[in-house]
Amino acid sequence: MAVMSYIQAVTTALREEMQRDDKVFILGEDVGKKGGVFRATDGLYDEFGAARVLDTPLSESAIAGVGIGAAMYGLRPVAEMQFADFILPAFNQIISEAAKIRYRSNNDWQAPITIRAPYGGGVHGALYHSQSVEAMFANQPGLKIVMPSTPYDVKGLLKAAIRDNDPVLFFEHKRAYRLIKGEVPSDDYVLPIGKADVKREGDDITVITYGLGVHFALQAAEKLAEEGIEAHILDLRTVYPLDQEAIIEAATKTGKVLLVTEDNKEGSIIGEVAAIIAENCLFDLDAPIKRLAGPDVPAMPYAPTMEKYFMINPEKVENAMRDLAEF
Amino acid sequence: MAVMSYIQAVTTALREEMQRDDKVFILGEDVGKKGGVFRATDGLYDEFGAARVLDTPLSESAIAGVGIGAAMYGLRPVAEMQFADFILPAFNQIISEAAKIRYRSNNDWQAPITIRAPYGGGVHGALYHSQSVEAMFANQPGLKIVMPSTPYDVKGLLKAAIRDNDPVLFFEHKRAYRLIKGEVPSDDYVLPIGKADVKREGDDITVITYGLGVHFALQAAEKLAEEGIEAHILDLRTVYPLDQEAIIEAATKTGKVLLVTEDNKEGSIIGEVAAIIAENCLFDLDAPIKRLAGPDVPAMPYAPTMEKYFMINPEKVENAMRDLAEF
Amino acid sequence: MSLNRHQQAGITDEQVLDMYKTMLLARKIDERMWLLNRSGKIPFVISCQGQEAAQIGASFALDREQDWTAPYYRDLGVVLAFGMTAKDIMLSAFAKAEDPNSGGRQMPGHFGQKKNRILTGSSPVTTQLPHAVGVALAGKMEKEEFVSFVTLGEGSTNQGDFHEGLNFAGVHKLPVITMVENNKYAISVPFDRQVASENVSIRAKSYGMHGVTVNGNDPIEVYTAVKEARERAINGDGPSLIEAVTYRLTAHSSDDDDRTYREKEEVEEAKRDDCILTFSTYLKESGVLTDEIEEKINSEVQGIVNEATEYAEEAPYAEPEHALRFVYEEQEG
Amino acid sequence: MSLNRHQQAGITDEQVLDMYKTMLLARKIDERMWLLNRSGKIPFVISCQGQEAAQIGASFALDREQDWTAPYYRDLGVVLAFGMTAKDIMLSAFAKAEDPNSGGRQMPGHFGQKKNRILTGSSPVTTQLPHAVGVALAGKMEKEEFVSFVTLGEGSTNQGDFHEGLNFAGVHKLPVITMVENNKYAISVPFDRQVASENVSIRAKSYGMHGVTVNGNDPIEVYTAVKEARERAINGDGPSLIEAVTYRLTAHSSDDDDRTYREKEEVEEAKRDDCILTFSTYLKESGVLTDEIEEKINSEVQGIVNEATEYAEEAPYAEPEHALRFVYEEQEG
Ligand SMILES: Cc1ncc(C[n+]2csc(CCOP(=O)(O)OP(=O)(O)O)c2C)c(N)n1
Ligand SMILES: Cc1ncc(C[n+]2csc(CCOP(=O)(O)OP(=O)(O)O)c2C)c(N)n1
Ligand SMILES: [Mg+2]
Ligand SMILES: [Mg+2]
């Protein structure tokens, strides 16, 4: 089994899907000759040509809208938004169109488009190259939102997204791109969209998170284990629609729940996670449902002092976990 | 004190603010000669002229963006989106621009724009003329989202929104427009944005809701009172940022909480309300935090059978309240 | 003997009668829907009236067995030409379960039917334009020989999606034909407060594409323009933008009262140019339409509309719980 | 004696030297930022290099005491001309608390300064265009005599906001000047895969406005075009779209490697037309710039850049908790 980086897993999944199915094609800004600003599509232009790795004009609503049209026709577009922050001009196409096409046509049509975008902070990206945008989309039935944490999950989930017959938003943590490495089987596997994944077993406290937060929690858990505190860590993987069963099971297991996101707090994904727990297994809880998130400010500032203040990190997660364990 | 309809309160607030401050102006589609498709700006074109009641081209991103520019200059634009559903093409301008202008300029600039839009269902509006869109915006610090339930609140809050130095989304329930009537003082009052309002005192159960849901809950409460169940009803009024203090107080008061929205459930505003309660006063609860919401389907269908199935109503609210009281 | 106008355009007598009949069917269905609305039987109508010539003229210039279309809410004429039936339309007007457009989920005018390659549409205007471009892109990638035909109103040309979609089509020289049905109003806002350019077709220059303005009251003129655009597209000469100048003979929709913003005289004048009248006059003058044929067509259309209305009115609504279906693909159980 | 080119354009010798000096200052600040980036002192640079002539030529044609501007990230030249200082820029490059653009919250190139009427900018491209239109609308409503000046790259003209904003300006004949700095690339994507029209200025026709393409390497040609556009705007003749053809002499940003998508030769050739060189040659030929003056300007600029750099490097960052401030208006306590 090869060890590869998070971004290599992205490229691998794309390549394998394009080899497997000639209906799969990529479109986006600078995805062709340049291979993407993060080089996620590196080498694909050479391998598959300009038509299947299509450099589009600088217009996100067209990228989404043209992709949706091609998907309705029967192709399998994988659209790249250069940064998750720049998906917003395509918001109407994604919410009013992609998410509603099956429903509004009473199952006559479908729009199997995958939209990839790098999100997340801690990369000196400032306000508009650091945002977590999932919460804005996570109230829209018809959409699925996948946010993988490991190279293994990236490959299996991106393949699943491309093969899915419904629109999938696939958000990749840009700091994870080169930071996170892991073993990735070379065979053609898919992982189920909609299912959370237990990344660590433990009996004392439950941490529910996703993306880079999973790694922070895992690191913190190792430290806490030395103090005798065993954390159970659930990686949501799909943040919409949520895997309610897995959430309830994980919360019930320890009775003490910490929810972690790097998004700002109010209205983030983890609010819904808390609500699911509070609605379904309130009496199994031994502590308030705690949340660790960014502060409620518009986005992450550029200056290192303020960026660090905003961004979650292993230390902040560790402290929150310890506080909860000691509750 | 005059009795007026919800929409008359909108028009009254607009007229009074335009009379008070000549920097206030209206822009939107069909707001001029026609007076708006719901007639919210009825008579204002005749009174204030075409320049201050500006019919714009059919382009929501320009309506928002031009409004933001005028607001940065120092005017007080009140933009109308014809239906809340059609605010989405302006999403990028609202989230990337309006919400972040003060923060990103370190307080050098501000964008005091008010964006009004009719939302909500139960009017045979089908998928795209019935939606609740607040959850998509309710994760964006810098924005305020006001959703009034009564004519009295409409007038006081719309005036407050127009005078506010930050961008405010002002969502008006289109079914309330003519259905809901109430007393409205003729004097020039404003109500505080960011504060929830107790609409009914009671000791047995707490209902937290907003918009039309408030009326459904009030109606249901009268029925339940006959059975000896007294409901405490909190009207959120501002759904972002939430009035945490009022929420905690209301939840603590009875220990049994029902949250009601007509939006679909997962990822809606009331998830965050549940999370606030679960984080702050979990041990004061005597029952799981219950939620009554629309089903998780893309939007409200047109056919009366399915529309009715989707839409909350007094009966559904009553049943949910009774179930909770009996818990 | 010199050829008459439709023959010059390459349209046979039979086809031209078929065009007329389809226009009339669209008109009569539309009129019936207003009656049903005014008598409280259906909650909403949005009309094609005044735009039938443009819609039918264009559709008949396409290959209705191969080409794809992304119509807008007024395009009753287009969808009828593409194979939708009066019954389908009435089922949609009554929001009945059997409605092929949406199973009664969407308002009338929100067309969609996969078997006839009619893309499913929504309410926010102009979103369909990039979709049509996407279909054209797919066709080009798959080396299929068809064009993608998309329509919208002139007000809707001011949406960002118009610009982004057409620029994409222009850069990649895609086989897509965009027809703007310029009916001079976007609800209450007249052309000169809406569109900054002198006309709509000049906007083609922004996208390096062929552009032309035609009389949308004349189905033959529209036919000719679309035919040419289709040939260009098939020959790899790229997309076209066609502006068909028409007039909206009704209020914007059953919820609108147009007397608040336009003069009665203006509407009256436009009604004198009503394409149904002018086309039937032309057909009579050119000898294709006799009183006898006209009567036959009228009664046939009448019968179709009656039957469709009765059927749809009787048809059942979807079950309430059907609202839960088809959010995502459902696995066969 | 016949007038030389700048005199013909109504520019005095003093002004023309001021233009040159401002161009040079922009260039030297920019070059310094690259050095600081490559030595690890600042995380990011995005350049004006190659576009100074367009930026300064345009700015000098405006009333820099009255007019408003909504610059894009490359417009170092514009903001310097509008009153921002080298120190301000360096404070922003180092993300220091005193940075007037954002207090170190935004990346460099995200300009904004209320006292100089420079609207605050963001990263998503083209959003500033409707803002500038809004300022022009406000000016017209308030009967103030100024224009609003907005810039963007040619790739950014494909965003919906370009279309929606300019159509709005065209319909309402607003005093706004849009200058597109066409540097032939949008990151890696060249003009012909990006913009479907033959050039950018032809898009003016879509908005019923005046449009012109000028040589963006020539500050005098740009000056003349913007001067004329300003007069039109002030006279109530509406908005203009000016395309200044330039070349991006650097990579897209410090994160980009342009060798993967464009030929070295192409860049070398463009460097021979570098506007700083060609303009200084012109100034020498016309006798305005002597060796002596040049030396003086060079050392002055050098001094300014050094001082600004030192100051900014030493200046403190905002406190971590400052991240919490100014989300909403704060009430004086
Ligand atoms: C994005 C969006 N904004 C607003 C509306 C409301 N609306 C429906 S039709 C219409 C006018 C459309 O005018 P035009 O494009 O000229 O088409 P017409 O109705 O005249 O055929 C408006 C404003 C909408 N459907 N979508
Ligand atoms: C909405 C949006 N999408 C994508 C980006 C990423 N991006 C930054 S600059 C750029 C290219 C801009 O090209 P152009 O408009 O020609 O300006 P130039 O950089 O060449 O001056 C892109 C794609 C962005 N900033 N905003
Ligand atoms: Mg129209
Ligand atoms: Mg460029």
Phi-psi region of A85 (alpha: psi -120 to 50; beta: other; left: phi over 0): alpha
User: Rounded to whole angstroms, how far apart are CA atoms D55 and D74?
Assistant: 9
| Residue D3 confidence (pLDDT) | 77
Indicate whether residue A89 lines ligand 2 (CB < 6 A). yes
Q: How far is D87 from chain A (nearest CA, A)?
A: 17
**C332 has a pLDDT exceeding 80:** no
What do you get for the CA distance between the two ends of chain C, in Å?
67
Indicate whether residue D303 lines ligand 2 (CB < 6 A). no
User: Rounded to whole angstroms, how far apart are CA atoms D321 and D333?
Assistant: 18
Residues from chain B contacting residue D143 (CB–CB below 8 Å)? none
pLDDT digits (tens, 9 = 90+) for C121-135: 999 999 999 999 999
Nearest by Cα to D65 from D1, D9, D115, D121: D115
pLDDT digits (tens, 9 = 90+) for A169-187: 999 999 999 999 999 999 9
Burial class (CB in 10 A: 0-12, 13-18, 19+), D280: middle
| Residue A1 confidence (pLDDT) | 80
| Residue C331 confidence (pLDDT) | 85
pLDDT digits (tens, 9 = 90+) for D211-241: 999 999 999 999 999 999 999 999 999 999 9
The pLDDT tens digits along chain D (333 residues) read 577 999 999 999 999 999 999 999 999 999 999 999 999 999 999 999 999 999 999 999 999 999 999 999 999 999 999 999 999 999 999 999 999 999 999 999 999 999 999 999 999 999 999 999 999 999 999 999 999 999 999 999 999 999 999 999 999 999 999 999 999 999 999 999 999 999 999 999 999 999 999 999 999 999 999 999 999 999 999 999 999 999 999 999 999 999 999 999 999 999 999 999 999 999 999 999 999 999 999 999 999 999 999 999 999 999 999 999 999 999 875
User: Considering only alpha carbons, which residue of chain B is nearest residue C323?
Assistant: B306
Alpha-helix residue ranges (DSSP H) falling in chain B: 6-20, 44-48, 60-73, 91-92, 101-104, 134-137, 151-163, 176-179, 212-226, 244-254, 269-280, 304-310, 314-325
Q: Which of D187, D203, D247, D253 to mutate to test the pocket of ligand 2 (most atoms within 8 A of CB)?
A: D187
Contact assignment for B103 to D105 by CB distance below 8 Å? yes
- Among all ligands shown, which has an atom nearest to the Cα of C152? 1
| Residue B84 confidence (pLDDT) | 98
> Per the structure block, which two tokens stand in for D66?
């009255």
Q: Encode chain D in three state secondary structure.
A: CCCCHHHHCCCCHHHHHHHHHHHHHHHHHHHHHHHHHHCCCCCCCCCCCCCHHHHHHHHHCCCCCCCEEECCCCCHHHHHHCCCCHHHHHHHHCCCCCCCCCCCCCCCCCCCEHHHCECCCCCCCCCHHHHHHHHHHHHHHCCCCCCEEEEEECHHHHCHHHHHHHHHHHHCCCCEEEEEEECCEECCEEHHHCCCCCCCHHHHHHHCCEEEEEECCCHHHHHHHHHHHHHHHHCCCCCEEEEEECCCCCCCCCCCCHHHCCCHHHHHHHHHCCHHHHHHHHHHHCCCCCHHHHHHHHHHHHHHHHHHHHHHHHCCCCCHHHHHCCCCCCCCC
**Burial track B177-211 (b if 16+ CB lie within 10 A, e otherwise):** beebebebeeeeebbebbebbebbebebbbbbbbb
Query: Which domains can be identified in chain C, with CATH numbers?
Result: 5-314 (3.40.50.970)
| Residue D331 confidence (pLDDT) | 85
Q: What percent of chain A has pLDDT over 70?
A: 100
DSSP B237-302: SEEES--HHHHHHHHHHHS-EEEEEEEESTTSHHHHHHHHHHHHSGGG-SS--EEEEE-SSSS--S
- In A, residues 62-101, which contact D (CB 8 Å cutoff)? 62, 85-86, 88-89
Burial class (CB in 10 A: 0-12, 13-18, 19+), A316: middle
Q: Is C169 on the interface with D (CB under 8 A)?
A: yes
Measured CA to CA in angstroms, residue B313 lies from B85, B188, B202, B231, C255 at distances of: 21, 33, 21, 17, 25
Segments of chain B scoring below 70 in pLDDT: none
> Per the structure block, which two tokens stand in for C166?
């057409």
ipTM of the complex: 0.98
Contact assignment for A59 to D44 by CB distance below 8 Å? no
Contact assignment for A275 to B298 by CB distance below 8 Å? no
Q: Is D214 on the interface with C (CB under 8 A)?
A: no
DSSP annotation of C112: -
Indicate whether residue D110 lines ligand 2 (CB < 6 A). no
**C1 has a pLDDT exceeding 60:** no
Residues from chain A contacting residue B278 (CB–CB below 8 Å)? 274-275, 277-278, 282, 288-289
Contact assignment for C196 to D207 by CB distance below 8 Å? yes
Contact assignment for D113 to B62 by CB distance below 8 Å? no
pTM of full prediction above 0.95: yes
User: Considering only alpha carbons, which residue of chain B is nearest residue D140?
Assistant: B51
Q: How far is A88 from chain D (nearest CA, A)?
A: 9
pLDDT digits (tens, 9 = 90+) for C239-270: 999 999 999 999 999 999 999 999 999 999 99
